[in-house]
């Protein structure tokens, strides 16, 4: 699709005319990134539903098959993909993926957010205290449901995997948040919430109250605990207090942990890939994310644009395809003078009666039912059809077959028109992103008609990732 003039035309008006560039976008080359031993963490982020998990898994597989020892941390993989990688059991530890080629190793795991949280507690508290925390209703609600816990635990797990140093490359998928930014914000929010002023107020009112100047806080606090106590029936607040007290004495502040993982993301050796699809919302998210990463000093390697459509027949415009489809569907036009029948039987054509006969069994039932009328009309309207009929077998009704081929061909043309319209929309959307962020390297991954759920499919995606070129480069 890259050399296609029709596409170039489509894209052209949307290029930034004021700032001409030699190439519309830099090409993201994933292989050097994956091969570089200094690359230790690759984070795939982006809005939900753009193929992040598949991209992460495909990159992991590719890196492993190029000789690295890789672990892929997936958050919410499709069932069949998880099964094919052997990570559908929820034990929250990486499993070696069987069936990879080459010297490297691929390990994969699916994040169990509650279990990760539990493990953090168990690792840092003595058994008795851990049991008390795990049984605390507030802890249970926090660890299972709090918006942000998943992001926080993904970061926590990433920190753990990195600390183990068993793998030389970690590929992380990020939670399917409503916004890509949640991945960066939620851990901090949860961390500062758990470690915040209010929690400390709740847990150590006496300490604070004793200090001069802090009295007002104490007043606010008793008012607050009083109100919240009334509102929630008191029990909750007590649970929170017990929970925080237990947590606080057993391991360091949550914020510290969140900060440490955050630093890990800024460290050299970490690479961010923003994953998107060529749709308005997904690319808008991607643009926000690109800007945010820059603001946070986090190294963005590029944009993976999934599900990009192409066409082998890009020269045929949507308009021409539609007009041609109408020609085929409207017999009055088609059968006039030197219409289709003449063309069909011109010396140039190499179709034979034999082929028509061969098609007969494939004829759909509805066509067969309508056969007598179709045949007579066809013969009446297209004189040269008789010629074809003569060479065909008596019951072959080639005019009928011809009619269904025409109908099919019209359908093929309409399908193509749809494809070309989609393609030009995608070009426009992409053009808008590139105009805003010409500095971002892009790799395009062609759309696949079905889901990917085995290593062969992942390998294929990996090849496409490595070979992907934005057009006109």
Partner 1 sequence: MSRLQVVSGKGGTGKTTVAAALALALATEGKRTLLVEVEGRQGIAQLFETEALPYEERKIAVAPGGGEVYALAIDPELALLDYLQMFYKLGGAGRALKKLGAIDFATTIAPGLRDVLLTGKACEAVRRKDRSGRFAYDYVVMDAPPTGRITRFLNVNDEVAGLAKIGPIHNQAQAVMRVLKSPETAVHLVTLLEEMPVQETADGIAELRAARLPVGRVIVNMVRPEVLDAADLELVRTVERSSVAQALSAAGLGGARRGGNAEKLVDPLLDQAAEYAERYALEQEQRTVLGELDLPLHELPLLAEGMDLAGLYELATELRKQGLS
Residue 259 binds partner 1, judged by CB under 8 A = no
Closest distance between partner 1 and the C-beta of residue 313, in Å? Answer: 4
Residue 214 binds partner 1, judged by CB under 8 A = no
Closest distance between partner 1 and the C-beta of residue 311, in Å? Answer: 6
Residue 185 binds partner 1, judged by CB under 8 A = no
Residue 207 C-beta-side C-alpha neighbours within 13 Å:
6
Residue 445 binds partner 1, judged by CB under 8 A = no
Residue 336 binds partner 1, judged by CB under 8 A = no
Residue 117 binds partner 1, judged by CB under 8 A = no
Out of 95, 425, 432, 469, point to the residue binding partner 1 (CB under 8 A).
425
Out of 126, 165, 297, 348, point to the residue binding partner 1 (CB under 8 A).
348
Residue 49 binds partner 1, judged by CB under 8 A = yes
Q: Using CB under 8 A, which of the segments 92-100, 245-253, 257-265, 419-427 binds partner 1?
A: 419-427
- Measured from the Cβ of residue 451, the count of other Cβ atoms closer than 10 Å reads 11
Out of 118, 248, 359, 460, point to the residue binding partner 1 (CB under 8 A).
359
Residue closer to partner 1 by CB (options 93, 223) is 223
Residue 176 binds partner 1, judged by CB under 8 A = yes
Three-class SS string for the chain? CCCCHHHHHHHHHHCCCCCCCCCCCCECCHHHHHHCCCCCEEEEECCCCCCHHHHHHHHHHHHHHCCCEEEEEECCCCHHHHHHHCCCCCCCCCEECCCCCCCCEEEEEECCHHHHHHHHHHHHCCHHHHHHHHHCHHHHHHHHHCCCHHHHHHHHHHHHHHHHCCCCEEEEECCCCCCCCHHHHHHHHHHHHHCCHHHHHHHCHHHHHHCCCCHHHHHHHHHHHHHHHHHHCCHHHHHHHHHHHHHHHHCCCHHHHHHHHHHHHHCCCEEEEEEECCCHHHHHHHHHHHHHHHHCCCCEEEEEEEEECCCCCCCCCHHHHHHHHHHHHCHHHHCCCCCHHHHHCCCCCCCCHHHHHHHHHHCCHHHHHCHHHHHHHHHHHCCCHHHHHHHCCCCCCHHHHHHHHHHHHHHHHHHHHHHHHHHHHHHHHHHHHHHHCCCCCEEEEECCCCCCCCHHHHHHHHHHHHHCCCCCC
Out of 358, 369, 390, 456, point to the residue binding partner 1 (CB under 8 A).
358
Out of 21, 96, 164, 197, point to the residue binding partner 1 (CB under 8 A).
197
Closest distance between partner 1 and the C-beta of residue 148, in Å? Answer: 9
Residue closer to partner 1 by CB (options 225, 434) is 225
Out of 69, 92, 196, 469, point to the residue binding partner 1 (CB under 8 A).
196
Residue 246 binds partner 1, judged by CB under 8 A = no
Question: Which contacts qualify for 52-55: CB closer than 8 Å, 24 or more apart?
Answer: 52/173, 52/174, 52/176, 52/275, 53/77, 53/78, 53/81, 53/173, 54/81, 54/306, 54/452, 54/458, 54/461, 55/273, 55/275, 55/304, 55/306, 55/445, 55/461, 55/465
Q: Using CB under 8 A, which of the segments 82-90, 125-133, 206-214, 344-352 binds partner 1?
A: 344-352
Contact map string, positions 121 to 150, toward partner 1, x by CB under 8 A: ----------------xx-xxx--xxx---
Residue 209 binds partner 1, judged by CB under 8 A = no
Contact map string, positions 62 to 81, toward partner 1, x by CB under 8 A: ----------------xxx-
Q: Using CB under 8 A, which of the segments 99-107, 127-135, 259-267, 348-356 binds partner 1?
A: 348-356
Q: Which of residues 9-38 bind partner 1 (CB under 8 A)?
A: none
Residue 115 binds partner 1, judged by CB under 8 A = no
Site size toward partner 1, by CB under 8 A: 91
- Measured from the Cβ of residue 163, the count of other Cβ atoms closer than 10 Å reads 10
Q: Using CB under 8 A, which of the segments 56-64, 103-111, 264-272, 403-411 binds partner 1?
A: 403-411
Residue 230 binds partner 1, judged by CB under 8 A = yes
Q: Which two tokens stand for residue 281?
A: 């919302």
The Cα 265–Cα 367 span in angstroms is 63
Residue 288 binds partner 1, judged by CB under 8 A = no
Q: Which of residues 304-333 bind partner 1 (CB under 8 A)?
A: 311-313, 316, 320, 323-325, 327-328
Owner of token pair 């797990």:
157
Residue 5 binds partner 1, judged by CB under 8 A = no
Residue 240 binds partner 1, judged by CB under 8 A = yes
Q: Which of residues 267-286 bind partner 1 (CB under 8 A)?
A: 280
Residue 163 binds partner 1, judged by CB under 8 A = no
Q: Using CB under 8 A, which of the segments 22-30, 46-54, 265-273, 295-303 binds partner 1?
A: 46-54
Closest distance between partner 1 and the C-beta of residue 83, in Å? Answer: 13
Residue 463 binds partner 1, judged by CB under 8 A = no
- Measured from the Cβ of residue 382, the count of other Cβ atoms closer than 10 Å reads 21
Residue 210 binds partner 1, judged by CB under 8 A = no
Q: Which of residues 383-402 bind partner 1 (CB under 8 A)?
A: 401-402
């Amino acid at each position: 699709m890259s050399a296609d003039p029709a596409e170039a035309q489509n894209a052209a008006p949307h290029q930034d005319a004021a700032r001409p560039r030699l190439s519309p976008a830099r090409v993201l080359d994933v292989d050097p990134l994956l091969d570089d031993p200094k690359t230790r963490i690759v984070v795939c982020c982006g809005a939900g539903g753009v193929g992040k998990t598949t991209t992460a898994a495909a990159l992991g597989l590719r890196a492993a098959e190029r000789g690295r020892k890789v672990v892929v941390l997936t958050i919410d993989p499709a069932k069949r993909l998880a099964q094919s990688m052997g990570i559908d059991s929820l034990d929250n530890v990486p499993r070696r993926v069987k069936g990879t080629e080459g010297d490297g190793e691929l390990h994969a795991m699916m994040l169990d957010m509650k279990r990760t949280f539990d493990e953090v507690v168990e690792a840092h508290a003595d058994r008795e205290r851990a049991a008390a925390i795990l049984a605390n209703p507030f802890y249970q609600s926090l660890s299972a449901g709090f918006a942000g816990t998943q992001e926080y635990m993904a970061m926590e797990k990433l920190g753990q995997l990195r600390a183990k140093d068993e793998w030389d490359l970690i590929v992380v998928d990020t939670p399917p948040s409503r916004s890509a930014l949640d991945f960066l914000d939620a851990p901090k929010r949860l961390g500062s919430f758990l470690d915040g002023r209010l929690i400390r107020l709740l847990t150590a009112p006496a300490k604070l109250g004793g200090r001069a100047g802090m009295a007002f806080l104490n007043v606010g606090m008793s008012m607050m605990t009083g109100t919240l106590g009334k509102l929630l029936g008191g029990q909750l607040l007590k649970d929170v207090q017990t929970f925080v007290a237990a947590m606080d004495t057993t391991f360091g502040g949550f914020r510290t942990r969140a900060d440490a993982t955050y630093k890990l993301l800024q460290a050299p050796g970490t690479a961010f890939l923003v994953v998107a699809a060529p749709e308005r919302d997904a690319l808008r998210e991607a643009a926000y994310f690109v800007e945010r990463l820059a603001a946070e000093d986090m190294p963005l390697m590029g944009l993976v644009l999934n599900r990009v459509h192409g066409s082998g027949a890009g020269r045929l415009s949507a308009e021409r395809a539609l007009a041609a489809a109408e020609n085929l569907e409207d017999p009055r036009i088609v059968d006039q003078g030197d219409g289709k029948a003449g063309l069909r039987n011109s010396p140039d054509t190499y179709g034979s009666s034999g082929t028509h006969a061969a098609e007969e069994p494939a004829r759909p039932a509805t066509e067969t039912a309508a056969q007598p009328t179709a045949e007579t009309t066809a013969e009446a309207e297209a004189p040269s059809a008789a010629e074809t009929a003569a060479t065909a077998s008596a019951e072959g009704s080639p005019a009928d077959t011809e009619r269904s081929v025409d109908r099919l061909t019209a359908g093929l043309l309409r399908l193509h028109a749809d494809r070309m319209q989609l393609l030009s929309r995608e070009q426009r959307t992409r053009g808008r992103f590139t105009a805003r962020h010409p500095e971002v390297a892009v790799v395009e991954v062609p759309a696949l008609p079905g889901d990917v759920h085995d290593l062969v499919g992942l390998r294929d995606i990996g090849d496409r990732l490595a070979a992907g070129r934005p057009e006109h480069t």
